[in-house]
């Protein structure tokens, strides 16, 4: 196996990467801003252009103590009901520094169901409460394999806790996924932003 080296003498003088190094760039496709929104739906821009898509949700503030959830569509957003098998766990700590814990969230996983998947813990609906994180969706246009996803969010959840929530799974479909919807399990997204990127 041959090794490739940069010809530049130091990092400060590198002006270009070798031609064989490419990829890893985030390409912003679209941005949606919540304003007392029941749902935010991405019905365009998810296609075969990229093998990986990343949704970044930033300071989603809720009207109710509820988690942010998502689902996928194979018909351009007419239905968000892709069958999924998922898993979830939570690490948390109180503002007081007490009661830290790490555990599996048995009530928040899905076993071959079509419901919306939690991708955050319950958001505290106090004035400064919110959740931020990301959702990775892999190769949604592939028509051979299931559609894997992973998500991580940090949430200020009720009674002044910080919770780092992890969820992952797959949409059990070989049809192309071409739309994604976000919503709270109850209430509305009063503010916040969700950005969609393609990874090149």
**What digits encode the pLDDT tens for the residues 42-74?**
999 999 999 999 999 999 999 999 999 999 999
Residues in the chain: 200
What does pLDDT average to over the chain? 92
Q: What is the pTM of this model?
A: 0.88
Confidence category of residue 17, pLDDT binned at 50, 70, 90: low
Backbone phi and psi for residue 183, each to the nearest 5 degrees, phi listed first:
-160, 165
With contact defined as beta carbons under 8 Å apart, do 43 and 74 qualify? no
Q: How far apart are CA 78 and CA 64, in angstroms?
A: 26
Q: How far apart are CA 25 and CA 27, in angstroms?
A: 6
Q: How far apart are CA 142 and CA 180, in angstroms?
A: 16
| Predicted pLDDT at 18 | 59
Hey, what domains does the chain have and what are their CATH numbers? Answer: 22-199 (2.60.120)
Backbone phi and psi for residue 44, each to the nearest 5 degrees, phi listed first:
-140, 160
pLDDT of 30 above 60: yes
- CB atoms inside a 10 Å sphere around CB 148: 16
């Amino acid at each position: 196996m041959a090794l490739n080296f940069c010809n530049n003498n130091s990092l400060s003088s590198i002006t270009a990467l070798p031609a064989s190094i490419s990829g890893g760039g985030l390409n912003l496709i679209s941005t949606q801003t919540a304003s007392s929104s029941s749902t935010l739906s991405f019905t365009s821009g998810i296609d075969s252009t990229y093998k990986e898509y990343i949704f970044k949700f930033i300071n989603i503030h809720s009207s109710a103590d509820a988690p942010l959830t998502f689902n996928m569509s194979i018909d351009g957003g007419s239905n968000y009901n892709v069958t999924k098998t998922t898993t979830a766990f939570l690490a948390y700590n109180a503002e007081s520094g007490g009661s830290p814990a790490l555990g599996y969230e048995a009530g928040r996983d899905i076993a071959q169901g079509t419901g919306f998947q939690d991708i955050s813990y319950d958001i505290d609906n106090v004035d400064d409460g919110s959740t931020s994180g990301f959702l990775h969706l892999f190769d949604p246009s592939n028509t051979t394999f299931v559609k894997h996803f992973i998500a991580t969010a940090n949430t200020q959840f009720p009674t002044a806790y910080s919770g780092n929530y992890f969820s992952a799974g797959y949409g059990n479909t070989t049809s192309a996924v071409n739309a994604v919807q976000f919503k709270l399990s109850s209430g509305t997204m009063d503010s916040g932003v969700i950005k969609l990127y393609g990874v090149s």
